[in-house]
Amino acid sequence: MKSKNSLLRNFGFAFEGLKTAFVNGRNFRIQVFVGLAAVFLGFILRLDPFEWLDLTLVIASVLILELMNTAIEAIVDIVSPEIQPKAKIAKDVAAASVLVASIASVFIGAFLFLPKILNF
């Protein structure tokens, strides 16, 4: 089956999704700014290449999960506009995935940054 959209247009859709998440998603904006602060701190503390890899993967994981959470919430709202127990479960579990990744990112950030801050 051949795609109706060009590769460039598909990238446009993806960037539109990022824009929508950033403009409409308070949590996504917070996570982007925290990620940028971590990158800034990484430059100040001169992370080594493997530490940059860890930091990049952690930031990307949190942002990816937040994007997926937003998508799941939108889909659930479409198919179940009224409150239903199973719809609530879907939304709550999707949000929990972001929470787990965020908590893990705090611990990983502490492992990456605290030794460098203490020796700064």
What radius of gyration do the chain's Cα atoms show?
18
CA distance 115 to 34: 19
The upper half-sphere exposure of residue 25, i.e. CA atoms within 13 Å in the direction of its Cβ, equals 23
Q: Check 16, 66, 73, 82 and give the catalytic one.
A: 66
Burial class (CB within 10 angstroms; exposed 0-12, middle 13-18, buried 19+) of 25? middle
- Cβ(52)–Cβ(42) below 8 Å: yes
Active site residue 73: no
Kindly list the catalytic residues. Answer: 66
